Amino acid sequence: MTSADARGGSLRANAVGLISATVVGLASTAPAYSLAAAFGAIVIAVGAQAPAVVLLGFFPTFLIALACQELNRAEPNCGTSFIWAARSFGPSLGWLAGWAMIATDVLVMASMAQVAAQYGLILVGAVALPHATAVTTLIGVAFIVAMSWLCFFGVELSVRTQSLLLAIELLVLFAFGGAALFQVYSGSAAPQSIRPALGWFDPLAISPAALATGVLLAVFIYWGWDTALAVNEETIDSEVAPGRAAVLSTLILLGTYAFVTVGALAFGGDAPQSAGATAAGCGSATAGSGDRLLQIGTSVFHGGPWTRMLEGATLASALAAMQTTVLGAARAMLSMARLGALPSSLMRVHSRYKTPGFAAIVAGAISVIYFILLSSISTDVLEDSADSIGVMVAFYYALTAFACAWRFRNDFGRSPAGLLRRIVLPASGGVLLCIALVRSASDMAAVCYGKTSFAGVGGVFLLGVTPFVLGVLILALGRAWGGRYFRGESLADRDS
């Protein structure tokens, strides 16, 4: 399979520039949504060291981004972690990397659909309805369908929509952080407010258990920047620009998260607003944390129009991330289908819009089914599902980092800069993620962790591990079936 036709058609080349790719990476991360979901949990876990956790979470993320930059330079492919892990470690680990990417997208879509539905209702003043399961489920499904539909009609339309939504959320987030710090330093903030201190960035003041929980939460708020690489086949200068966009996205996120976290912590104080036992290794990372960012924002903006803007920014953030999630999942499916790792129908590219339209429809449909299923079971299960996302993210990020170090292992000794950039730093990022993953997973397995449990095991752990186990079973079936991909034949052809 060497021709575009044999692969179901080519995506639209040179449709995305460096800035647009960066927008995709930032929008996928959903800064406002991520902070709304995780800020309260981070404060519960580590208190005043929340900025330290944000900084520590950045380091492995940045190192993974550097690894992706090098891998993309060697092989720009919309399958990203799937194809890179397959090249380094063979079809089995490559398939698991691709499966983890798609499974994570489905998991997070359910969470974002719920958040988008709730904030949509809050924004229009339907305060009594956000917790009405039937209503939020219906609205959430409508949002998933709408965002999937936008992905069908070309990457240019997707980027324009994301640019608008991203501009709204970044404007409001920086206005929030600036207003919070101004009131703290002017003395007009609430009595519990405290002035920022350098000690907030000291990771040594955090216990090992709380640190592992905090870092995995931080990985969650940074996750998504790699979608900038998923559009590499559609990006101008596909070997260089997507990698630069990924690295640039992580740097912008660091500045945004650090500024907003310091502002929110200074204004709201470092005392947890609910009982939590994450530091002791028990209790959900987000149990009782609520949307602490919105609580503080309401006080910062005194309940005025900017409070509505903060609510709107969180809604815009969730919607933009939903769209880019479908965009990334569809391209991962396309790449896997090209090599025979998934059914060939998923590699169809629309003749007019040059998008993996069928894969986008499938990704949206699976997300709808999963969202409805969890919503019908319990909102507690849905929340625990959101908490479990970090498990799969850490797995395929670490695998990508190790794939980079292994792929370029023959560069060892050629140049100090190449050794550092292609082997040492990526491997270090992978090791850091593995440490945080193992420690946090052991905490998640506790029956008292999260809001649900099954057979004496924490629900967050089970919801995080179950997709991986399912992926292994499907992989075993694929290997037994013995298709070209699983025999390594399609990987042997670099032009496949």
Q: Are 328 and 101 within 8 A, CB to CB?
A: yes
Q: What pLDDT score was predicted for residue 8?
A: 58
pLDDT single digits (tens) 308-363: 899 899 999 999 889 989 999 999 999 999 999 999 999 999 888 899 989 999 99
Q: Are 295 and 273 in contact (CB under 8 A)?
A: yes
Which of these, 75, 74, 136, 144, lies nearest to 108 by C-alpha position?
A: 144
Q: Please, which pLDDT band fits residue 2 given cuts at 50, 70 and 90?
A: very low
Contact 404, 470 (CB under 8 A): no
Residue 2 CB neighbours (<10 A): 10
Q: 496 in helix, strand or coil?
A: coil
Phi and psi angles of residue 453, each rounded to the nearest 5 degrees, phi first: -155, 155
pLDDT at position 184? 95
**Exposure of 414 by Cβ count < 10 A (0-12 exposed, 13-18 middle, 19+ buried)?**
exposed
Q: How large is the average pLDDT for residues 264-280?
A: 61
Q: Give the three-class secondary structure for 235.
A: strand
Per-residue burial over 376-391, b if 16 or more Cβ lie within 10 Å, else e, is eeeeebbbbbbbbbbb
Better pLDDT: 182 or 159: 182
What pLDDT shows up at residue 485?
A: 93
Count of other CB atoms within 10 angstroms of residue 302: 10
pLDDT higher at 60 or 190: 60
pLDDT at 289: 45
Residue 162 DSSP symbol: H
DSSP 59-72: HHHHHHHHHHHHHH
Among the residue ranges 6-10, 178-182, 205-209, 366-370, the one predicted with the least confidence is: 6-10
- Tell which wins on pLDDT, 330 or 122: 330
Q: pLDDT tens-digit profile of 189-215? A: 888 899 999 999 988 888 777 777 777
Residue 457 in this model has a pLDDT that exceeds 60: yes
Other Cβ atoms less than 10 A from the Cβ of 481: the count is 9
Does position 303 have pLDDT exceeding 70, yes or no? yes
Higher-pLDDT residue of 465 and 292 is: 465
Would you say residue 296 has pLDDT above 50? yes
Query: What gap in Å lies between CA 324 and CA 165, rounded to an integer?
Result: 12
Above pLDDT 70, what percent of the chain? 91
Q: What is the pLDDT of residues 463-494, one digit of tens each?
A: 888 999 999 999 999 888 878 899 888 888 75
Distance from first CA to last CA of the chain, Å, rounded? 5
**206-219: buried (b, 16+ CB within 10 Å) or exposed (e) per residue?**
beebbbbbbbbbbb
Structure-block tokens of residue 405:
């170090």
**Among 67, 110, 125, 22, residue whose Cα is nearest residue 398:** 67
pLDDT(125) > 80: no
Question: Above 80 in pLDDT, residue 163?
Answer: yes
CATH of domain 18-492: 1.20.1740.10
Q: CA 491, CA 445: separation in Å to the nearest integer? A: 37
pLDDT given at position 271: 60
Task: Note the pLDDT of residue 99.
Answer: 96
* pLDDT at position 272: 52
Measured CA to CA, the distance from residue 278 to residue 280 in angstroms comes to 5
Q: How much is the pLDDT for 287?
A: 42
Mean pLDDT, range 125-150, rounded to an integer: 83
Joined tokens for residue 175: 């206005």
Per-residue pLDDT band at 262 (split at 50, 70, 90): very high
Q: Alpha-carbon Rg of the chain, whole angstroms? A: 22
Question: Domain limits of the chain?
Answer: 18-492
Q: Residue 458 pairs with which residues in a beta bridge? A: 453
Contact 30, 318 (CB under 8 A): yes
Per-residue pLDDT tens digits for 90-114: 999 999 999 999 999 888 888 889 8
CA separation, residue 59 to residues 210, 219, 248, 485 (Å): 17, 10, 14, 34
**Cα–Cα dist 378/380, whole Å:** 5
Full DSSP string of 167-187: HHHHHHHHHHHHHHHHHHHHT
The residue among 253, 252, 304, 266 whose CA lies nearest residue 182 is 266
Render pLDDT for 349-407 as a digit per residue (tens, 0 to 9): 988 889 998 999 999 999 999 999 988 887 777 777 777 888 888 899 999 999 999 99
Question: Once rounded to an integer, what is the mean pLDDT over residues 37-62?
Answer: 86
Percent pLDDT > 90 in the chain is 48
pTM above 0.85, yes or no: yes
Token code pair at residue 481: 């079936």
Amino acid letter for position 262: V
Mean pLDDT for the chain overall: 86
Calculate mean pLDDT across residues 247-259: 95
The pLDDT of residue 346 is 94
User: Given this model, what pLDDT does residue 129 score?
Assistant: 59
Which pLDDT belongs to residue 496? 46
When pLDDT is cut at 50, 70 and 90, the band that residue 413 belongs to is low
